[in-house]
Amino acid sequence: MENSNEKDASRGSFGSKIGFILAAAGSAVGLGNIWRFPYLAAKYGGGLFLLVYLIFAITFGFTLMLTEIAIGRRTGKSVIGAYKTVDKRFAPLGWLAAAIPALILPYYCVIGGWVLKYMTIFITGGGSEIATKSYGTASDGSDISFFSDFISHAGQPAIFFVIYVLVGSIAVLLGVEKGIEKVSKILMPVLLVLIVGIGIYTLTLDGSGEGLKYYVVPDKDSITPSMLLKTIAAAVGQLFYSMSIAMGIMVTYGSYMRKEDSIEGSVRQIEVFDTAVAFLAGLIIVPAVFVFSGKDKLNAGPGLMFITLPKVFDSMPAGQFIGAAFFILVVLAALTSSISLMETVTAVVIEKFKLSRVKSCVIVIIFTLIVGMLSVLGYSTWSDVEIFGMQILDFFDFSTNNIMMPILAFLTCIMIGYVVKTKYIEEEVIHGEKKFKSKGLYNVMIKVVCPICMIIILITPFVTKI
């Protein structure tokens, strides 16, 4: 086991603790919070899901995030170098941790492009039209929505995807302190103001109380053992997704963290930020959909944000304005997440190929554009192409989130819990503070609970479709 506490000063670092927290929170707060969390919460019994999610966030999420940040800061390297430095035998994990963001980044930017398109439509006053107009008739006689029509032609999604990638890459090109930290310090407070503002507004709408009740109060009658198990699996899966865990990001951001700052305190604050935004997003979406489209529409899944919500905004007083604010919010949240994915891959290229930041970032941009185009085409020109029964974008999403990430997290737990031992993490945690306050909880989680949760996540999609 190498013990490198030496950091390469030329790599750059965050200039302040708040800069690190906002950048990491920016990574965590993304499409997962605004689009995925609300519909999962609605599907798995509202209040019950919230409770289970919260318990796992402060135990499981805390443990994995702290582990990654500590590994990053202790080694001071990008993911590939970091895992190798912790233990040479676990070096392949570094490659896995680099492959995950490289595969996620392109498709995440494709969805970012969709959101950018929606933001443009709402800002230019076209929100009502896309909510109500029919874009043709499907083979089953139903109306074709704007969304289905939009993604089924490659041109526009491709253009918005390219714009989104180029805008997102500016922060990475500018570097850690001047780019990522600065952008996060501006965007994250704006995001918070927007989400709180829209949340307060939707709660003042007539009838939203019913929707709010549905969102926060568990429906006792629907709680069965199998429902509870499914809720746990869904909550753990969502947590993983939401906190940007097991995609190399927190290792990379940890490697830029100042030695004097507290890891434990920072993780707690990132968690609160991430969970609060997810909760507030649900507070906006669930009662509004409940009031304007009805309870059954809450199960719309991916279509909730792109098909149902524009209809909701259309029926709501000042809906065009709120819709524009909402999609600006989603673009900001998605941008700070894709910046973190891009930074993780760029850091690997800088370190492995000894190239400058600008050259490395350009390579990553070109790669993202090529691979992302596959996902764009997968919904349009190549809509017949299926990989294991999935469309191209869904395949990238499934293979990373359901297979590669749980495997990486599982093996990271084994490496820290049983091979290099938890002292490795503890030594780094007590660098910035006197005591590792949650040491007892941490040890149990990393050795027992987290590996079990990972196995549950790995097998759930194969056993039951949740």
> Cβ distance 425 to 442 under 8 Å?
yes
Chain center to CA of 69:
17
Burial per residue of 72-83, b for 16 or more beta-carbon CB atoms within 10 angstroms, e otherwise? bbbbbbbbbbbb
Instruction: Tell the smallest beta-carbon distance from residue 369 to ligand PFF (Å).
Output: 18
Print the SS3 string covering 188-208: HHHHHHHHHHHHHHHHCCCCH
Instruction: Tell the smallest beta-carbon distance from residue 146 to ligand PFF (Å).
Output: 23
Of the pair 22, 130, the CB lying nearest ligand PFF is at 22
Of the pair 244, 252, the CB lying nearest ligand PFF is at 244
Burial per residue of 431-458, b for 16 or more beta-carbon CB atoms within 10 angstroms, e otherwise? bbeeebebeeebbebbbebbbebbebbb
Of the pair 44, 240, the CB lying nearest ligand PFF is at 240
Coil, strand or helix at 387: strand
Instruction: Tell the smallest beta-carbon distance from residue 383 to ligand PFF (Å).
Output: 22
Of the pair 231, 344, the CB lying nearest ligand PFF is at 344
At 142, list the tokens.
């139903």
Of the pair 31, 307, the CB lying nearest ligand PFF is at 31
Of the pair 52, 246, the CB lying nearest ligand PFF is at 246
Residue among 274, 280, 311 at smallest CA distance from 118 = 311
> Cβ distance 168 to 342 under 8 Å?
yes
Instruction: Tell the smallest beta-carbon distance from residue 237 to ligand PFF (Å).
Output: 11
Instruction: Tell the smallest beta-carbon distance from residue 10 to ligand PFF (Å).
Output: 28
Q: How many angstroms separate the Cα of 295 from the Cα of each of 35, 238, 286, 299?
A: 17, 22, 9, 8
Residue among 166, 133, 229 at smallest CA distance from 364 = 166
Of the pair 135, 398, the CB lying nearest ligand PFF is at 398
Instruction: Tell the smallest beta-carbon distance from residue 30 to ligand PFF (Å).
Output: 2
Residue among 340, 257, 265, 188 at smallest CA distance from 15 = 257
Instruction: Tell the smallest beta-carbon distance from residue 397 to ligand PFF (Å).
Output: 7
Instruction: Tell the smallest beta-carbon distance from residue 184 to ligand PFF (Å).
Output: 13
Of the pair 130, 249, the CB lying nearest ligand PFF is at 249
Instruction: Tell the smallest beta-carbon distance from residue 391 to ligand PFF (Å).
Output: 16
Q: How many angstroms separate the Cα of 62 from the Cα of each of 58, 78, 410?
A: 5, 21, 15
Of the pair 26, 432, the CB lying nearest ligand PFF is at 26
At 427, list the tokens.
């030594």
Instruction: Tell the smallest beta-carbon distance from residue 353 to ligand PFF (Å).
Output: 24
- Report the C-alpha gap between 223 and 48 in whole angstroms: 8
Which chain residues interact with ligand PFF by CB under 6 A? Answer: 28, 30-33, 104, 108, 241-242, 244, 337, 400-401
Of the pair 108, 326, the CB lying nearest ligand PFF is at 108
